[in-house]
A and B are shown apart, each in its own frame.
Chain A
């Protein structure tokens, strides 16, 4: 579903991404770990078509992102690190707008259902997003992703700044989506959250994927140790 073939991105002499190979199957959650500048966000940007790879290719559901950026976007959803959305629109209005941009028109009831399923409290659905906590905004983001019925989901540091409860709720949501067959690529610094939700964990360093492990192979503490040794 999410495939990278020798994917590279150079900025002059700097190799932001170096020969990355990746294959994430439907229902799988792949967590990319790595320090700042390791190439996690560049990887996601290549899949989103936000940056053109210098070599190799990124595919989503068999579609080459570089040659058909709009076509590939039909199959993906994305949750950025900062999900401020439109502060002067309600959660429902934000969801409605972003769904329409993706070509989906839902009734008010359907939109409410998406938001409630994402865990947003019912009494906040019609409040301006500007009054939401980050956790609530993330839930709207997840609702946007689920409403798009995407087969691939990209998450960039989604749990940064979330309190433990919100972070846990978020993990449950991700697992639910994966169970529904969505392939998920999540870039994160949060080793414990990665261990909790991931099917596989990849560790990046200087643009290269230097290690890949099944999340079940280690405990969170062991994973942290491996991570520290690797980076």
Chain B
């Protein structure tokens, strides 16, 4: 019986020109957005790969160099773009993609990462994720809002029920019909995405990409079930089609536009972030209070000097068998790292608390869960950005420590700033090779959203099993 109802709903929707035209327009938009998103992804991927390659070439071809000069010369690392960027670019555009790595200074893009909370990333460029999140639910609302009224006024509903259709079967049939219309659109995207990903096998290697693609498809399918179940149940409960449409559109505007903005603003109010200038000033100030590799008069510097001289049993750095400058600079690094850990730790804590705040709102607004999980599965959310930032900082620390240790123990003496190491040595240093987190890690960060969206699905299924769905209520 369900199959008959689904088939009939499809047939009627198809014959009603407005709906079929709307479906075709959204389907076309999805295909266009997916294809253009793919082209955009390829351009960004190539740009970043070329930039990373160029920086590595520069690093390897820096000539014979003093390690400390090399540390100041530094390098850049680039955040690799996720292959699923073409479906949901996430916060990439607002979070920044390159990080300068050098000695003494830690550059960060942490502030821009907060733009995940901003409306800018919500209604930016037209991309597949935006159409799937915003326009497809709107289509489902237009399909569902009149689904009972049409049959009530034509007498077909009484006839269907008299033919033996159980009220709950009718509801399920209509829900599944509306849902399957969305699934058909999702299938279009899935097939095109699969073909595009397969066209670049070097980018789609491994199972993670495919698991994420499957995860995204499942997520959107689940969300469309929520929309279909809610829209059909409301259409069944509200007799006036205009009121049914108005209610559904109000829910759509509230969940898609108003609530996410309110929650984002509220999260920022709960946990306000420092401005970039203020944050940098605080970091700088705290670092100045401590050791400074170029300030031998500093008290901490003196203490460290005494400790090293005592260790080697000499009374002057010039008598040390090693280069004291290298040790002092590394000591400064350790202090700088502690300052970074403290400030970025606090910032990350605040960002995560903001993210948790929005995550909790998923229990009120499933759209928030969808949006956050979509970003997460596309590997383009705040957590992934922080993961990259941490990996880049860890690489920087290893690189600068290696350079400082070379300076200290590589054969030069204190004050020997003209001492150089051969170019080949720099080439041997390992390049930054960022491994994006696996899907399981991404989902672990979004447990609240997963629970929320599952709870919504359960709630709507539970509502379908409520005893009030009798013929009397539907007619």
CB-CB contacts below 8 Å: B118-174 with A: 153-156, 158-166
A102–B165 Cα gap in the complex (Å)?
A: 7
CB-CB contacts below 8 Å: A49-96 with B: 49-52, 69-70, 73-74, 76-78, 80-89, 93
A101 touches B12 (CB 8 A): no
A127–B1 Cα gap in the complex (Å)?
A: 25
A193–B94 Cα gap in the complex (Å)?
A: 77
B16 touches A101 (CB 8 A): no
Nearest B residue to A154 via CB reads: B162
The residues of B that contact A48 with a CB separation of less than 8 Å are 158, 161-162, 471
Q: Which single member of A50, A89, A93 contacts B161 (CB below 8 Å)?
A: A50
A195–B472 Cα gap in the complex (Å)?
A: 32
Nearest A residue to B158 via CB reads: A80
The residues of A that contact B444 with a CB separation of less than 8 Å are none
Known A50-B472, A52-B472; judge A74-B155 contact (CB<8 A). Answer: no
Q: Which single member of B15, B155, B166, B471 contacts A81 (CB below 8 Å)?
A: B155
- Min CB gap A114→B, angstroms: 14
B4 touches A82 (CB 8 A): no
Asked if B31 CB lies within 8 Å of chain A CBs, one says: no
A50–B166 Cα gap in the complex (Å)?
A: 11
* Number of residues of chain B lying within 8 A (CB) of chain A: 25
Q: Which single member of A69, A70, A84 contacts B153 (CB below 8 Å)?
A: A84
The residues of B that contact A144 with a CB separation of less than 8 Å are 159, 163
A84 touches B156 (CB 8 A): yes
A87–B153 Cα gap in the complex (Å)?
A: 12
A82 touches B155 (CB 8 A): yes
B472 touches A98 (CB 8 A): no
B1 touches A70 (CB 8 A): no
Asked if A97 CB lies within 8 Å of chain B CBs, one says: yes
A74–B163 Cα gap in the complex (Å)?
A: 7
A98 touches B161 (CB 8 A): no
CB-CB contacts below 8 Å: A11-57 with B: 48-52
Nearest A residue to B14 via CB reads: A88
Nearest B residue to A50 via CB reads: B471
A78 touches B4 (CB 8 A): no
A86 touches B161 (CB 8 A): no
A88 touches B164 (CB 8 A): no
A101–B161 Cα gap in the complex (Å)?
A: 9
B154 touches A50 (CB 8 A): no
Question: A residues within 8 Å of B by Cβ?
Answer: 48-52, 69-70, 73-74, 76-78, 80-89, 93, 97-98, 100-103, 141, 144, 148, 154
Given A102-B163, A102-B164, 19 further pairs, Cβ under 8 A: A48-B158, A48-B471, A49-B471, A50-B471, A52-B470, A70-B164, A73-B161, A77-B162, A78-B159, A81-B155, A82-B155, A83-B159, A84-B155, A88-B11, A93-B11, A97-B8, A101-B1, A101-B160, A144-B163
